Amino acid sequence: MKQFEQVLQCLPPVIQYQINTLDPWSRQRLEEIRIYKGKAVQLYADGKRIELTGKINGHDMQNLLRQMIKYSYYAYEEDLSKGFITIDGGYRVGVCGKAVMENGKVALLRDISSMNIRHAKELIGCSDKILHYVISENDEIHNTIIVSPPGCGKTTLLRDLARNLSMKHIKVAICDERSEIAGMHDGISSYQFGPTVDVLDGCPKAEGMMMLIRSMSPKVIITDEIGRREDLEALKTCVNCGVHIITSIHGYDMKDIKRSEICPAIENNIFQNLIFLSDSPQAGTIREVINV
């Protein structure tokens, strides 16, 4: 939370003041701060929209971005070309603007038009109700995939699962491609994990999973938002090596999963649990659990 205060400090004072004087309920449940050039700032707290007064101009926008990337464009250029940056504390900031192409790929975003600061949360105990699906009484771990559209609490759930498993002294390795799960800052996680969590930060998932297997001998690998073809290969290798997988994917239902690149993993029953999340009535609601 302290680091989120530092993020808020980057905003223009008038916006900071309005956020700081929000009612405690909304302040506590702040999920997103959406900033649009030339328009009012929109907040989302527990699914509800709150519009602030005062507009953000181009200078504010540029200043905000520069402060969030600590005046170090080179350190974030790769992330920015993908449309997001992850700042200290694991807060992901989505960025929109004019894409500049180079060799058929997005090289950078300029003329930033909007940003979305997502408030990463640590909800200790939020995975308790699904823990019995993930780990049996005799400490046998079941490969699990969490499925939901964005903003339903996949990463928060994965984070708490990592903590829960680590508290049971199970060797957990987190492959945190977007620095969201562990929120590493200067080699230390921003969240409370147990004693046995290894974090490979900022590394592409497929490559990272292989590195973790070779180097850290984990019992479980936790990673976020799989969905590419190379992720599937890495998943297969993990399972063949006897390492368990807990991961997440964007989607709403089984149809979405079957349309994704990781469909063969589902068909081959690599995952014993498919947990579907929903944001209704609130983010993190478990809509369905399919036990294969």
Partner 1 sequence: MFKWVSVILIFTTSASFGFYKSYEIRQRKEILSDFQDMMERMVTEIAYFKSPLPVIISQMISSENRLSNQLLRNCYGQYAYSEQRKDFLEIWKTAVDDTYQMQPVKTDDLSVFYRFGSILGQSSYDAQKGHFELIEKELSRRLDDAEAEYKTTGNLYRKAGVSVGAVLAVAFL
Binding site for partner 1 (CB under 8 A): 9-10, 63, 66-67, 69-77, 108, 186
CB of 230 to partner 1, least distance (A): 23
Name which of 113, 128, 101, 148 is nearest 38 in CA terms.
113
Please list, in sequence order, all residues whose beta carbon lies within 8 angstroms of the beta carbon of residue 44, skipping any fewer than 6 positions away.
30, 31, 32, 34, 50
Q: How far is the CB of 16 from partner 1 (least distance, A)?
A: 11
Report the candidate in 265, 267, 273, 269 with the shortest Cα–Cα distance to residue 232.
265
Of residues 53 and 72, the one with the C-beta less far from partner 1: 72
Q: Are the beta carbons of 280 and 152 closer than 8 angstroms?
A: no
Q: For residues 1 and 75, which CB has a smaller minimum distance to partner 1 in the complex?
A: 75
Which residue(s) pair with 185 in the sheet? Answer: 188
Nearer to partner 1 by C-beta: 95 or 226?
95
Angle at 37 between CA 35 and CA 89, to 5 degrees: 30
Give whichever of 45 and 85 is closer to partner 1, judged by the CB atom. Answer: 85
Q: How far is the CB of 108 from partner 1 (least distance, A)?
A: 7
Least spacing, CB of residue 107 vs partner 1, in Å: 8
Q: Based on CB atoms, which residue is closest to partner 1, 64 or 266?
A: 64
Please, what is the minimum distance in Å from the beta carbon of residue 81 to partner 1? 9
Joined together, the tokens standing for residue 3 give: 């680091």
Which lies closer to partner 1 via its Cβ, residue 67 or residue 237? 67
Plot region of 45 (φ>0 → left; ψ -120 to 50 → alpha; else → beta): beta
* Beta-sheet pairing, 184-185 with 105-118: unpaired
* Three-class SS state of 78: helix
Q: Please, which residue, 10 or 35, has the CB nearer to partner 1? A: 10
CB of 163 to partner 1, least distance (A): 27
Are the C-beta atoms of 68 and 7 separated by less than 8 Å? yes
CA distance 60 to 181: 29
In whole angstroms, how close is the CB of 74 to partner 1 at the nearest point?
Answer: 4
